[in-house]
Structure 1
Amino acid sequence: MRAATNDGRADVSDAPLVFAGFGVTAPERGWDDYGDVDVRGKVVVVVEGEPDGDLFNGAYTTHYQSAGYKADEAFRRGAVGLVILAGERGWARARGGADQQRILTPGAADLEFIATLDEAGKARLAQAAGVDPARLTGGQDGRFKAFELTGATLTARQSETIDTLVTHNLLARIEGSRRPDEVIVYSAHWDHIGVGGDHAGGEDTIFNGAWDNASGTIGVLEMARELSKAPRPERTIVFAHMAAEEMGLLGAYAYVADPVYPLETTVADINIDMLPLSGPTRDVPIFGKGQNTLEDDLDALARAEGRYVSDDGQPQQGFYYRSDHFPFARAGVPALMPWHGVDFVDGGKEAGWAAWRERFGRVYHQPSDEWSADWDLTSAVENLTLLYRLGLNLANGDEWPTWKPTSEFGQVRARSEAARSSR
């Protein structure tokens, strides 16, 4: 049996094929598409997305829908390649509104190859394998089990072209007084799109990235400034400026692949991407509501101020998978990212959503994303104050935030439980 080689070349000859539905194994949901089938040395064929319905978070997709997860699971089971069958809607449901570059998640396991087939390609595959195309669909009731496509094999040969760009993450720390190897991370990305490109339609070709994400980087700097004034915390606090987020979270993935501080004793990641720029809000939206207990800690702090934690209200965007907190979450570290409030104290949700849509539509990933003296930083200060208190409580306590029972990341964190329970 051939194993994946990570040599920059795909070279697979007459590999057997296995159809594995959505390619999902989710024990917390009682779901296992693979069953007992052996995929070692084979190519796994899966359907894009994930099952519909409340079992898989309804309108908010889970990590199981991503090509990155499907590749990881196939690789973990010994497969050499992955073929994803795209439906008539293409990647619309799986991606939400995410950028095209997010389709294949950076950091995914290095199979020999990952390929996609459209409806016509799916029909040809079914014909070659001698099966009804209707059988190449994902189950919706949890009873589906993978099966071999015995009538066909797959041969693939391709080489990658690799461009190497050098950039850097920047880390600083306040070392803990009692448990310095237990770490809370505040993160933000310092990169943006650069100069020129397809988005630059006018004379101004400089993408300043003032909101996205100079606002987040200054948030982390101010967090470091204020926390350095407090009594030295018992746990270490790290302030991380991540590179290459706009290229696919590459800086955060690089850190998680080779962490400066062990992930098993990293307490949490608190990520700041695009601070809210508005008057005061009642709500504190977060990405991935329902994922871990950090949101409960944040909600308690918010309610003491007459505010409340909510979801981001935009399931079509797939926001939980689109910033530097996500590589931490994927590696099992509880991660939190607050977002922009839309329940304005002055004007309520009608005014809040109108303001959000106007700003996002006008400046997101545009040269017009520039600093302005008329920015209202009230909500930014409100949110940063809550995040300050959250991080300081974690740094001076012995709590280990946990993933909630339905989270897909709990099983990853559980693998390192011994490193925390021995403390």
Structure 2
Amino acid sequence: MTKRLTILGAVLAGALTLTACDAIPGFGSGSSGPKLDIPDVHPGDISEAIMKDVTRLLASDEFEGRMPGSAGEEKTIALLTERFKAVGLKPGNGDSWVQEVPLVEITGKNYMPLTIAGKAGTQSLAFGKDWVGVTYREEAKTSLKDSELVFVGYGINAPEKGWNDYAGLDVKGKTVVILVNDPDWQNEELEGTFNGKAMTYYGRWTYKYEEAARQGAAGALIIHQTQPAAYGWNVVESSWTGPQAYAQRGPNAPPLTQMNGWVTEGAARSLLKAAGQDLDALTKAAQKKGFKAVPLGMSASTSFESTFRSFTSHNVIGILPGTEAPDEYVLHTAHWDHLGRCTPAPDGDDICNGAVDNATGTAALVALAEAHVKAGAPRRTLVFLAVTAEESGLLGATYYASNPVFPLAQTVGGVNMDALQMAGRARDVTAVGFGKSALDQFLEIALRADGRKVTPDPKPENGYYYRSDHFAFAKLGVPMLYVDGGQDLLEGGREAGEAVAADYTDKRYHGPKDEFNESWDWSGVMADLQLYYRLGRMMAISTSWPNWNDGDEFRAIRDASCKASEKGC
């Protein structure tokens, strides 16, 4: 599951200004919209042995944490190609099993402390313990010297909401200090300028860095707080140290800051106190429209060096060609990559194996592919897409969506699988982004066949909809389902489900202890795979083209795409 997202940028901003065309025949509008062609599907013959075997291999130390561009990638690509071929898929990119993805790897080193100087004296923040930072620029040395600090609240510029934390402010050469999440994230309901407790894209740290760069800032520092960030400092430290992969930049790429980073809440409180400010009071003020940025009367300085490596990573693509409509496509996506070597555990283990995240989802591609091959090809083509560099910002998925092997207007929709939950059977599943598209109808019928129900995302404030590969396709109009494990476990109910999720987040997520466990209970995962199987096969047999619901942020994008297409939707 990703630590970094690529920003929507001009593509989404421009597309959202389009006027949605009239409803296209065959398109649905959610549960209350036109009735869709949703066929019955028998359970699939899904191999638990394959799930265990592929997960175990991908999560072994031999694969070194599956960092893109490493020997671990070479082994991963070889394994997936071998397994896709063995279960009966065909190469998905012409005669090739892979799509090349050009990336650059930047590794920071020789970090100096982040020094904060002001009238009250100087504070020295230790790298890793108190702050982390990276540069997105391909420069051998980054030097931030006496850069004025300005607190800019949530760092949001949203003209359509009448909100601009940078109003009247010139931050060129300065370092902005930013709060994570949205101004109304503490609301109990889904109502407010920024959708209340449901995080919008403005709440994601990726947006905040991009906006700071657009404003001309030299540096951007986000104050880490566990609750609004939805993860602890350990996740930030492990994810933001070591090699960082990015998409190679073109000649007209958007501006960049010199340095983007995070500071711990404790360090932020200390430096704000030295500036005569209080974090809680500033936060309260920043939550109100019309907030004015606060110069802190302090400056930041640090420096570090970087090395660079341009390389080609790979998406792996296998297909089961359709019988009647082979040029209409249904996606199954999962990311094969993880963090490679990372901050060591107390026992010295420094391999982030990524067993749950996301060897499980990658193995599911192989197991589902075999089940569909056994059942026979459906009318539409099934695409099994294992993408690279999700942990670096959905880079592989974004590259495919921008350079699709199969046209997006001819892509019916899809299902994304990320970090399958080892918690046993549940009475429900969690649907992140439920209520956005007519794919909800497929999900509800598939769940009914399994005797389960859907639970909408219980923590919309965490912004999970923007943190996995489905989002790269959704923002370009393709309806995608992101279905996670259930919360209401057969053994222990919701309390047990919450405990399992919290235990994984606190002890293993993005750390060296996300390792394969021979004693795992696979019953819940196998039940979820039956759901993914039904969803994929329903879409592949159906004659309907599900759309985003009226008023959804992606509806206009899909309608415009379909209007411009000579075939497909």
TM-score of the pair, normalised by structure 1: 0.71
Identify if the C-alpha distance between structure 1 residues 379 and 178 changes in structure 2 by more than 3 Å, giving closer, same or farther.
Answer: same
Tell me what 1:352 maps to: 497
Partner of 1:51: 183
CA drift of 1:386 comes to 1.4
Give the secondary structure class of the aligned counterpart of 1:187.
strand
Cα offset for 1:219? 1.0
Q: Tell me if 1:172 matches 2:312.
A: no
Q: CA deviation at 1:167?
A: 2.8
| Pick aligned residue for 2:559 from 412, 417, 423 | 417
Q: Which residue, out of 453, 465, 468, partners 1:320?
A: 465
Equivalent residue number for residue 62 of structure 1: 200
Decide which of 96, 107, 116 is 2:230's aligned counterpart: 96
Contact 1:292 1:402 in 2 (8 A): yes
* Residue aligned with 1:245, SS: coil
CA contact (8 A) 2:333 2:384 kept: yes
1:199 aligns with 2:345: yes
1:359 deviates by 5.6
Q: Is the 8 A contact 1:42 1:79 kept in 2?
A: no
Question: Which protein has greater RCO, CA pairs closer than 8 Å, 6+ apart?
Answer: 2
Q: Alignment partner for residue 528 of structure 2, among 383, 402, 406?
A: 383
1:22 deviation in Å? 4.7
2:367 counterpart of 1:222: yes
Within 5 A, what are the aligned runs for 1:237-316? 237-314=382-459
The CA deviation string for residues 368-399 of structure 1, in whole angstroms up to 9 with x for no partner, is 61241x43322222211111121222223322
Do the aligned partners of residues 343 and 169 (structure 1) sit closer, same or farther apart at CA in structure 2, a change above 3 Å counting? same
Given the superposition, is the C-alpha separation of residues 265 and 287 from structure 1 closer, same or farther in structure 2, using an over 3 Å criterion? Answer: same
Q: Name the counterpart of 2:95.
A: none
2:329–2:383: 8 Å Cα contact kept in structure 1?
yes
Does structure 1 residue 189 correspond to structure 2 residue 335? yes
Give the distance between the partners of 2:499 and 2:513, measured in 1 at CA: 22
Equivalent residue runs for 1:100-111 within 5 Å: 100=236, 109-111=254-256
The Cα shift of 1:402 comes to 0.8
Partner of 2:308: 162
In 2, Cα distance between the equivalents of 1:236 and 1:191? 25
The equivalent of 2:57 in structure 1 is none
Distance change in 2, residues 1:230/1:65 (3 Å) = same
Residue 172 (structure 1) shift: 0.9
> Matches of 1:72 and 1:266 in 2, distance apart?
30
In 1: Cα distance, 2:371 partner to 2:459 partner: 32
Kindly indicate whether the alpha-carbon contact (under 8 Å) linking 2:416 and 2:470 is maintained by their aligned counterparts in 1: yes
Kindly state the Cα deviation for residue 325 of structure 1 after the two structures are TM-superposed: 2.4
Change (3 A) 1:362 1:44: closer
User: Post-superposition shift, 1:65?
Assistant: 0.9
Letter in 1 for 2:207: Y
User: Match of 1:152?
Assistant: none
- CA-CA distance at 1:284 after TM superposition: 0.4
1:400 is paired with a residue of what secondary structure? coil
CA distance in 1, matches of 2:477, 2:239: 20
Percent of paired sites with the same residue = 33
Structure 2's unaligned 5+ residue stretches are 1-135, 144-149, 248-252, 276-280, 296-302
Aligned residues: 400
Q: Tell me the TM-score normalised to structure 2 length.
A: 0.55
Q: Do the aligned partners of residues 123 and 294 (structure 1) sit closer, same or farther apart at CA in structure 2, a change above 3 Å counting?
A: farther
SS of aligned partner of 1:162: strand
| d(CA) in 1 for partners of 2:497, 2:220 | 39
